[in-house]
A and B are shown apart, each in its own frame.
Chain A
Amino acid sequence: MGSIVLNNLGKVYGEDTVAVHNVNLEIKDGEFVVFVGPSGCGKSTILRMIAGLEHISFGEVIINDEVMNNVPARDRDIAMVFQNYALYPQMTARQNIGFALEMRKLPREEIEKRVLETASTLNISELLDRKPKELSGGQRQRVAMGRAIIRNAEAYLLDEPLSNLDAKLRSQLREELSKLHARLGVTMIHVTHDQIEAMTLGQRVAVFSVGHLFQYDTPETLYKSPNSIFVAGFIGSPTMNFFEAVSTRKASELSISVGKRKIGIQNYQERFNINQDGKLLVGIRPEHINWGNHSLELEDGFLANVEFIENLEPESYVTAIFDDKEIKTLSSDDLEKFSKGTSETFSGTKDPVITFRVSSENLPQKNSSILISLPPEKLYLFNANTGQSYGKEIKW
């Protein structure tokens, strides 16, 4: 088992296509870390550089205090589970799982014993004599896991191992994976583009975009104090709502104008490092929004029209359009721009739109007029140019 340190790690393709920018990151021995980010963010490339399958352009991969840059993959003692499982098609599950040990010239009985152990850990004992094409997707995934965990590797790298499975199986295996890690206590790096997977599995989660490491922290911290508008938008479902706003400092109160209305944040210095007035971006998670019927007067409420209701149990997602058309809300395209670091301008959505999460037992009527309130203590503030959070870093 081992610790892994990435020191200024980078990958350049061809002359000047930078796929990974100076990534610094440390994984402790026995830790379960998830690399998450949209496709093309460089997370798999980093994983492959750790495994030794990809040449390192600059920086270092250090495993157990040893620089691994020039150590070939086969000598790094890393086990990996591939997205498409990469099972040897002509071999049975038994042979697939035992292959690595066979290559290490272990005695036959020893291999057989460990294959059986591994298989029972993964509940695939009865599948051992089948070939990959005779196995279902989930079964293949388990065999692929088995092939990795049968080894006493320094670290186990899982490259989107659940992405080819259906939703139900995925959540089931997610749980099993968690338990497996708890039982084995080994170092694991799990790559996924699915933030739910990241949040449920990772002890720590590294959020990547376009080759940059945005934030590396516990799932709770990522959720509660994202360091940037990209992380804030990426983590959480449905996505956080963002508005354009103008702030004015008044002693201990920060007054924020969203459209025609103002929201006041008391004792803002406790939560925010903000020392200028002007344009900024405000974010609020769908689960933190309150709403009421039009008749029900809410303090600082925004009038809005219910546009669309996504009926789920026990909670539903409601999308509404503000009556105040001066409000400018950010579109997914705008967030995309922030994923590359900064954004000069943003186009906004066609209509000012907001999504919030409510109990399915108490839903607004479609096309009805409602009042929405944004609780000041739940607001996130971001720099409108850099996307950096103004929030003070709070460890959770």
Chain B
Amino acid sequence: MKKGMIISKPDFGTNRSSGDKKLGGRFKRPPKTLLVSISLMAPAVSIFLGFISIPVLAVLVTSLTKWTGFDVRNLDWIGLNNYIDLFNDKIFIRAFSHTIVFTLATTLLLNAVGLGLALLVNTKAFGTNFLKAVLFLPVLLSPVIVGLMWSGLLRGVGGGLNIFLEFMNIIDQPIFWLGNPKYALFAIIMATVWQFAGYNMLLYYAGLQSVPNSLLEAAELDRANGWNKFRHVILPALYHVMSVVFLLNIIGGLRIFDIVYVMTRGGPNRSTEVLATYMYEQGFQLNAMGVASAIAVIMILLAVFASVIRLRLLRHV
């Protein structure tokens, strides 16, 4: 080894000229490669068309009709009337606002709790490995099971929470959490946060692994305290992960169904009705497929809106 003898060979542009050649080739690609690329794209394109585009289009078309769902021949075109009716429908407005409240609340709580847990687990202190596994467990459960568990826990008579509160002498009469319009939505939000906090934790935990250690050390030497390290180093490094997690949570929140259906069926008196449960009722209980489709279209638009916002925000990072 000859120390200190790093002599770079002059670059006479060989790399560049080979790159130019490739670029030129793209426009003169022989038909055979075109065939290959089409056949390679075909599965993805046909899955997209068959399973996404066409059903979405069908829903869009159905939303412009009045149809009971039994016979396509009895399908009446009514234009945008379903949409107009929906925005005059008090139940829909309530379902819409509950969905927004639910989505915002679960997204914020899930991120706060998930990030908090990820930071805790990331200390790698004793027991955090166990904690990581345990906190992720609820994610693996079906929302129906989680709904049933929480229904049991929040039961008025004999429910775990009331027994605890009675034992602590906080209450003397049982509180019917799921029967009370004041608490029911909140209870569902809690159950959802409980179920999916572990999921966010895992995503954030993965994100934390990519926070450069040297940045934290630099901040330490710059005399940043814990909060400042979090604010100036960890949080900015998690920005991309966070935007994905937010989007996932928002889309998940917009389409929430199972846990609401199991815990309250949207009641009492619509106080926990969300778009998906109302869509289900319209489509399959009230035989109003057109209305249900219109709700579905609105849900799709909300999700698209959320992801456009995300892309806009990320453009400036």
B232 and A78 within 8 A (CB): no
Chain B: residues with CB nearer than 8 A to chain A? 1-8, 212, 214-215, 217-225, 228, 232-233, 236-237, 239, 317
Listed from nearest, the 8 A-B pairs whose CB atoms lie closest are: A196-B4, A100-B222, A86-B214, A86-B218, A90-B236, A238-B2, A237-B4, A74-B223
A74 and B236 within 8 A (CB): no
Interchain residue pairs with CB less than 8 A apart (10): A53-B217, A53-B221, A82-B217, A82-B218, A88-B232, A89-B237, A104-B223, A194-B4, A195-B3, A332-B1
C-alpha gap A344/B84 in the complex (Å): 92
B214 and A196 within 8 A (CB): no
Task: List chain A residues, Cβ under 8 A from B239.
Answer: 90
Q: Given contacts A99-B232, A238-B5, are A51 and B215 in contact (CB under 8 A)? A: no
Task: List chain B residues, Cβ under 8 A from A82.
Answer: 214, 217-218
A103 and B214 within 8 A (CB): no
Task: List chain B residues, Cβ under 8 A from A104.
Answer: 223
**A80 contacts the other chain (CB 8 A):** yes
**A239 contacts the other chain (CB 8 A):** yes
Minimum Cβ distance to chain A for residue B82 (Å):
46
**A84 contacts the other chain (CB 8 A):** yes
Q: Which residue of B lies closest to A355 (CB)?
A: B2
Task: List chain A residues, Cβ under 8 A from B232.
Answer: 88, 90-91, 99
Q: Given contacts A103-B228, A167-B6, A237-B2, are A51 and B221 in contact (CB under 8 A)? A: yes
B217 and A86 within 8 A (CB): yes
Q: Which residue of A lies closest to B239 (CB)?
A: A90
C-alpha gap A104/B224 in the complex (Å): 8
Q: Which residue of B lies closest to A48 (CB)?
A: B217
A86 and B215 within 8 A (CB): yes
Q: Given contacts A84-B212, A84-B214, are A74 and B221 in contact (CB under 8 A)? A: yes
B221 and A78 within 8 A (CB): yes
C-alpha gap A78/B221 in the complex (Å): 7
Q: Given contacts A86-B214, A238-B2, are A166 and B221 in contact (CB under 8 A)? A: no
C-alpha gap A280/B217 in the complex (Å): 47
**A5 contacts the other chain (CB 8 A):** no
Q: Given contacts A86-B214, A239-B2, A332-B1, are A167 and B221 in contact (CB under 8 A)? A: no
**A79 contacts the other chain (CB 8 A):** yes
Q: Given contacts A99-B232, A239-B1, A239-B3, are A166 and B223 in contact (CB under 8 A)? A: no
**A147 contacts the other chain (CB 8 A):** yes
A80 and B236 within 8 A (CB): no
**A236 contacts the other chain (CB 8 A):** yes
Task: List chain A residues, Cβ under 8 A from B2.
Answer: 237-239, 317
C-alpha gap A104/B221 in the complex (Å): 11
A166 and B8 within 8 A (CB): yes
Task: List chain A residues, Cβ under 8 A from B7.
Answer: 167, 312
Minimum Cβ distance to chain B for residue A356 (Å):
13
**A234 contacts the other chain (CB 8 A):** yes
Q: Which residue of A lies closest to B221 (CB)?
A: A80
Minimum Cβ distance to chain A for residue B210 (Å):
12
C-alpha gap A73/B236 in the complex (Å): 23
The interface centre, meaning the residue of B5, B223, B232 with most chain A CB atoms within 10 A of its CB, is: B223
- Could you list 6 further interchain pairs (A-B, Cβ under 8 angstroms) beyond the known A89-B237, A195-B3, A238-B2? A80-B217, A82-B214, A99-B224, A99-B232, A103-B225, A237-B4
A51-73 residues with Cβ-Cβ distance < 8 A to B are 51, 53, 72-73
Minimum Cβ distance to chain B for residue A331 (Å):
10
| Mask of A75-106 contacts with B, CB within 8 angstroms, 1/0 | 10011101110101111000000011001100
C-alpha gap A100/B217 in the complex (Å): 12
| Mask of A218-237 contacts with B, CB within 8 angstroms, 1/0 | 00000000000000001111
CB within 8 A of B5: which of A88, A166, A237? A237
C-alpha gap A197/B218 in the complex (Å): 24
Task: List chain A residues, Cβ under 8 A from B225.
Answer: 103
C-alpha gap A289/B212 in the complex (Å): 49
A88 and B8 within 8 A (CB): no
C-alpha gap A75/B220 in the complex (Å): 9
A89 and B236 within 8 A (CB): yes
A88 and B215 within 8 A (CB): yes
Task: List chain B residues, Cβ under 8 A from A91.
Answer: 232
C-alpha gap A166/B10 in the complex (Å): 13
The interface centre, meaning the residue of A74, A83, A234, A312 with most chain B CB atoms within 10 A of its CB, is: A74
CB within 8 A of B3: which of A80, A167, A237, A317? A237
C-alpha gap A159/B223 in the complex (Å): 19
C-alpha gap A322/B92 in the complex (Å): 95
Q: Which residue of B lies closest to A238 (CB)?
A: B2
Q: Which residue of B lies closest to A82 (CB)?
A: B214
Task: List chain B residues, Cβ under 8 A from A84.
Answer: 212, 214
Q: Which residue of A lies closest to B1 (CB)?
A: A332
Task: List chain B residues, Cβ under 8 A from A100.
Answer: 221-223
Q: Which residue of B lies closest to A312 (CB)?
A: B7
Minimum Cβ distance to chain A for residue B214 (Å):
4
A167 and B8 within 8 A (CB): yes
Q: Which residue of A lies closest to B218 (CB)?
A: A86
Task: List chain A residues, Cβ under 8 A from B214.
Answer: 82-84, 86
B222 and A99 within 8 A (CB): yes
A234 and B3 within 8 A (CB): yes
Task: List chain B residues, Cβ under 8 A from A79.
Answer: 221
C-alpha gap A82/B216 in the complex (Å): 11
Task: List chain A residues, Cβ under 8 A from B218.
Answer: 80, 82, 86, 88, 147
